[in-house]
């Protein structure tokens, strides 16, 4: 059973460019959340998707957008990249009807903005 998979694993972009990161949730999961983790910090919640709609959003600007597809996979898009967007981007999947606090994380995409 494949867990959460993210691609690419590493990425280098230039300031002002746009980037798309991808996530496939764990089999059977219908909800995907995205997090940004700066060096030395805990992961910060960006947004959560289920039923192909953004359901909750953290304190991130509109440059951060996402999408969820009918197969539950998801994309995170970041426009007009800033140096400060350099971070590990994590995807977490879960089941909407779950009543516990367990989320499954992928290994992340390391984004470097130069």
Partner 1 sequence: LAKTTQPISMDSYEGQEVNITCSHNNIATNDYITWYQQFPSQGPRFIIQGYKTKVTNEVASLFIPADRKSSTLSLPRVSLSDTAVYYCLVGELPTGGSYIPTFGRGTSLIVHP
- Of residues 71 through 100, those in contact with partner 1 by CB under 8 A are 88, 90-92, 94-96, 98-100
Contacts of 78 (CB under 8 A, 6+ apart): 18, 19, 21, 63, 64, 65, 85, 111
Of 18, 77, 107, 112, the one binding partner 1 (CB under 8 A) is 107
Of 4, 21, 87, 113, the one binding partner 1 (CB under 8 A) is 4
Of 24, 26, 36, 48, the one binding partner 1 (CB under 8 A) is 48
Q: Provide the mask over 13-42, with x wherever binding to partner 1 is found by CB under 8 A and - wherever it is not.
A: ------------------x-x-x----xxx
Contacts of 52 (CB under 8 A, 6+ apart): 67, 68, 69, 70
**Closest distance of CB 62 from partner 1, Å:** 20
> Distance (Å, rounded) from C-alpha 44 to C-alpha 59?
9
In angstroms and rounded to an integer, the radius of gyration of the C-alpha atoms of the chain is 13
């Amino acid at each position: 059973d494949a867990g959460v998979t993210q691609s690419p694993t590493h990425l280098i972009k230039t300031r002002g460019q746009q980037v798309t990161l991808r996530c496939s949730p764990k089999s059977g999961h219908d909800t995907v959340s995205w997090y940004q983790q700066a060096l030395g910090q805990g992961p910060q919640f960006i947004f959560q998707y289920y039923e192909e709609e953004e359901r909750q959003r953290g304190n991130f600007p509109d440059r951060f957008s996402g999408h969820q597809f009918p197969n539950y996979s998801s994309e995170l898009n970041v426009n007009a990249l800033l140096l400060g967007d350099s971070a590990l981007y994590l995807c977490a999947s879960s089941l909407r009807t779950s009543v516990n606090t367990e989320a499954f994380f992928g290994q992340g995409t390391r984004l470097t903005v130069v």
